[in-house]
Copies of this chain bind each other. A is one copy, B any other.
């Protein structure tokens, strides 16, 4: 979307409805706030986005395996992950008008309003943005949807719809490791529905209560294991080549940056080049306590700049939590590491332990200082506790055992689709040879995600030869990609119909096709027309669609 019409979410959503991309869920019953359905073009777009992600992340690599886990999982998973205790928004209610709202969004709601009401209770900083009434003390509201599994309605049978796909990957880490013949560093990827009972769903499909995610957990060695194996750990300061093959001596920092670059490459492939989004590196005091680094990819939606996806370095936090709660070890056995450790002398091992203890204390002090916004020094007791765990960790490492660390690139299908729609949408002013003005509505989708790849028209539908040849092309292409047949109206009108659907190529079969087999290929963005043979077109198209 050109920046000048950023505000035209209305125009976009109206096209999205009219052309069958997005509908309100349950519309004939008045709709369900926060739930959206994808129509015929919308679900093709969605399937294509997901297929592109899967090809790029799983099938196109040798170090990522797929997973497809259930939405309802054991409730202890959400205890271990922290969601049961802390996945909540602060909710407040107006004592006067009884409206519920998120306490942290009151400022936004004031801002959305033309006239801010006066507080009924003079002097209060926060008051109901709708009526000025007094607000209750904010209370945490857990965002997980609850249900009961089995026939007995008992607290012991409560389960939750997953609020993210990631945890299933951690819960199945040992199974996948045992059955996939892959060894760390390697990743597990999953796509699927997640659910969050948002207090106030908003911004079209951006923040909805049911949505789809594409998440990768890429498991890596702890830096200390890399150090033992290679005698060094490559960091970003070493200027590693992130576009070549991955390297065994990379530390977590390099792996994290590598995945940021991979995600940017993917976004470019599906139609969102780097200059169209913002890469935001979270500051040390913004990071979650277990996170080493986190990058948000942010996009300028018509309703403001919002996070499209995130790439987090989550250390060994998640697997450790599941190890503690399930009592099932989440360690891997790394034979090359054990062999490398065997070759170390006792002195080298002692020096390694000493160095590790010092590093752990330094890192933890640094993190605590960043969090507190002031210099923090640990007490001797605190240092001794850290030293003890660092020593146990080193002892395991020397046996080739550790709990892997993880880099997590996590993307939302629906918000990526919304960004692609915003990015693709244009109301283009055209002036014809006679100076007449016209508006062309066009969706400039990347061919890789476009719902329809090719539309095929016989120029004159009543010409039996044109019809026959066009049908032959149509039927051949349909085995390969999603194609559309259209014989209704003038060619110009048929082009416009495809422009609105974002179809990159239109093929018109005419009298010359009957003679020489070439047809006209009209390209959506440039509106240029070229004569091509079937073989030429197929080669051009295949290349444009490859990932």
Residues of A within 8 A of B (CB): 17-20, 23, 25-40, 42-44, 46-47, 54, 59-60, 62, 65-74, 76-77, 91, 100, 141, 145-152, 159, 161, 168, 171-172, 174-176, 179-180, 193, 195, 197, 199, 209-210, 322, 325-326, 328, 478-479, 482, 485, 546-547
Contacts and interface: CB of A to CB of B under 8 A. Distances in A.
A161 B38 CA distance: 18
A32 B199 contact: no
Tell me what chain A mostly uses at the interface: helix, strand, loop, or mixed: mixed
Contact of A72 (B19, B31, B32, B482): B32
A67 B23 CA distance: 10
6 smallest beta-carbon distances between A and B, as pairs = A26-B74, A20-B179, A43-B68, A40-B65, A29-B74, A28-B326
A19 B180 CA distance: 7
A26 B171 contact: yes
* Copies of this subunit: 2
Contacts of A195: 72
Contact of A175 (B27, B65, B77, B149): B27
A47 B54 contact: yes
A547 B481 CA distance: 12
Q: Which of A25, A65, A151 has the most CB of B within 10 A?
A: A151
A454 to B, nearest CB: 12
Given A39-B172, A67-B43, A322-B28, A161 B179 contact: no
A149 B195 CA distance: 11
A37 B69 contact: yes
Contacts of A197: 148-151
A151 B44 CA distance: 33
Given A43-B66, A151-B197, A172 B326 contact: no
Residue in A18, A33, A38, A485 whose Cβ sees the most chain B Cβ within 10 Å? A38
Residue of A39, A71, A479, A485 with highest tally of chain B CB at under 10 A: A39
A37 B68 contact: yes
B29 A180 contact: no
Contacts of A482: 59
B180 A40 contact: yes
B65 A20 contact: yes
A164 to B, nearest CB: 15
A326 B175 CA distance: 47
Given A65-B20, A67-B39, A32 B149 contact: yes
B68 A29 contact: no
Contact of A176 (B20, B68, B478): B20
Contact of A23 (B91, B172, B209): B172
Given A47-B54, A197-B149, A70 B37 contact: yes
A195 B149 CA distance: 11
Nearest to A497: B181
Contacts of A44: 66
A30 B75 CA distance: 11
Given A17-B175, A71-B71, 7 more contacts: A23-B175, A28-B174, A32-B149, A46-B68, A146-B148, A150-B199, A479-B547
A473 B76 CA distance: 46
A147 B145 contact: yes
